[in-house]
A = this chain, B = another copy of it.
Amino acid sequence: MNLIIDGGTVVTMGCEGIIRGGDVVVENGRIVDVGKGAKIRRKYYGYEKIDAKGKVVIPGLVNTHQHAAMSLLRGYADDFPLMEWLENWIWPLEKHITSQDIHVGALLTAVESIMGGTTTVNSMYHYETSGNEAEAFAQVGLRGVIGHVCFSWRKEGDVKALRELARGWHGKADGLLRVSVDPHAAYTVDPEYMKELRAITKELNEKYASPDSPVMWHTHIAETEDEPEKIRKAFNVSFEGGVAEYLDSLGVLGSDVIAAHCVSLSPGDIEILKVRGVKVSHNPVSNLKLGSGVSPVPSLLKAGVTVALGTDSSCSNNTSDMFEVMKVAALLHKGLHKDPTLLSAEEVLRMATIEGAKALLWDQQIGSIETGKSADLAIVDFKKPHLCPLFNEISHLVYSARAADVETVLINGNVVMKNRELTTINVHRVLEMAEKTKERLLTRLAQG
């Protein structure tokens, strides 16, 4: 479909900066022109027009850490100590989760993401052949990286799932989907298995991927300060320094690794992340809510590490709202370091767009509004009291705009939401399904 998004303020996050009264032209899913004035309108006369006057057009937001299926457990248990939360609440319920539940939970996340201007989601969960997150994303038209999470205790199942996931979904759904190998964490995946997962990643890349569309690694690193101790105890290994230093000693870190959290890092860890080109997914809302602490993002940025943003799951956030994550990220480091110049609005908007795309090695196609890239866009309505008056669009996008201000969303040129109505799925039906699915899950839990 060919269309022109007309007359909006285009925040490109690319070389062209902000274009007021600008136009974005889309042909067959790609941005073919970005500019302003009568000339561009004449040139593409007859294209279907989306009126963006008084609105702000931004690259779709990139959520670099999710567990999409877990939206089904949103608000099930909060405010408990971490281990009590996991052992008494989350894990007992998760035992009863079926592949159907995974699919419904991921649908819910996909819908919520799009309604909040997020067009790409990097999700780690259990892959099941029938009923999975990939299917849900494809159904709704959301771009994403779908991973299968691996644990030492189920190597065989993992390897099978990884192969099926890659064969079934890498590069599928018009290229919207990619897959990843997801070692859960350094304390749940033993050193040998960690290396095996590297070998499997190589195998899957050779079979199913191309250099510009790789099978990624997605893992949790240093979410809490006790991880080094947990690794030592779990695998009877001895090492100095932090979790990244330990993983590097196994030779598994590289530029295809996206590391969620990175809260408790040693100075050596930061150096390793930089040298190996590991990308960090900063999840401030989740880290605060679970009492994990605060990632040293200013130090990471200073060291030159790519830092992107993530929501984490709706169990520990409890939303998929990247606007909220942007604001909390922008606020938190200023407050802790008593320095209001840290993480400027522009820097944070970059983290949620182009840096997110870089973190997923997808920046050739997404993360900014530039000719040649995929048309992944969100149109934000600025005619709202909390976005008035207007001095500075970037300030408003980070400090004042809300997920609900997103009016229209394109992914790969498809209008997946128009005037807050999803075009790809009946949202009311998703909510009904999710509620029923939750009820059945609670019934199974009660029956043991």
* Separation of A80 and B395 alpha carbons in the complex (Å): 12
In contact, B334 and A291 (Cβ under 8 angstroms):
yes
* A400 in the interface (beta carbon within 8 A): yes
For chain A, residues 424 to 438, give those with C-beta under 8 angstroms from any C-beta of chain B: 427-428, 430-431, 434-435, 437-438
> A153 at interface (Cβ–Cβ under 8 A)?
no
A294 at the interface (CB under 8 A from B): yes
Residues of chain B within 8 A (CB-CB) of A319 are 386, 399-400
Q: Which residues of B contact A389 (CB under 8 A)?
A: 72, 74, 434-435, 437-438
B284, B385, B390: the one within 8 Å of A427 (CB) = B385
Residue from the list B81, B112, B285, B392 in contact with A385, Cβ < 8 A? B112
In the complex, are the beta carbons of A292 and B81 less than 8 A apart? no
Please tell me if A335 contacts chain B, counting CB pairs below 8 Å: yes
Alpha-carbon distance A224/B318, docked complex (angstroms) = 31
Question: Is residue A383 contacting chain B, with contact meaning CB distance below 8 A?
Answer: yes
Comparing A5-13, A15-23, A340-348, the segment that makes contact with chain B is A340-348
Decide yes or no: A402 and B399 within 8 Å by CB, A335-B287, A389-B435 being known contacts.
Answer: no
CB pair B328 A331 closer than 8 Å: yes
> Is the CB of A251 closer than 8 A to any CB of chain B?
no
For A347, give the chain B residue with the smallest CB separation.
B79
A318 touches B115 (CB 8 A): no
Nearest-neighbor residue (CB-CB) of A85 within chain B: B340
Binary CB contact string for chain A from 299 to 330 against chain B (1 if under 8 A, 0 otherwise): 00000000000000010011111001001101
Which of B317, B330, B332 has a CB less than 8 Å from the CB of A399? B317
Q: Which partner residue on chain B sits nearest A224 by CB separation?
A: B338
5 pairs from A and B in contact (CB 8 Å cutoff):
A80-B340, A116-B386, A318-B395, A390-B435, A402-B404
CA distance A434 to B388 in the complex (A): 7
Q: Is A82 an interface residue (CB 8 A)?
A: yes
Which of B291, B384, B386, B399 is within 8 Å of A339, CB to CB? B291
A75 touches B332 (CB 8 A): no
> When the two chains form their complex, are residues B388 and A74 in contact, meaning their CB atoms are under 8 A apart?
yes
Roughly how many angstroms separate A335 CA and B285 CA in the complex, as a whole number? 9
CA distance A240 to B79 in the complex (A): 38
- For A116, the closest partner residue in chain B by CB is B386
User: In the complex, which of the residues B78, B112, B340, B385 contacts A115, with contact meaning CB atoms closer than 8 Å?
Assistant: B385
- Contact across chains for A345 and B74 when beta carbons are under 8 A apart: no
Given known contacts A293-B338, A318-B400, A319-B399, A76 and B391 CB-to-CB distance under 8 angstroms: yes
A292 touches B335 (CB 8 A): yes
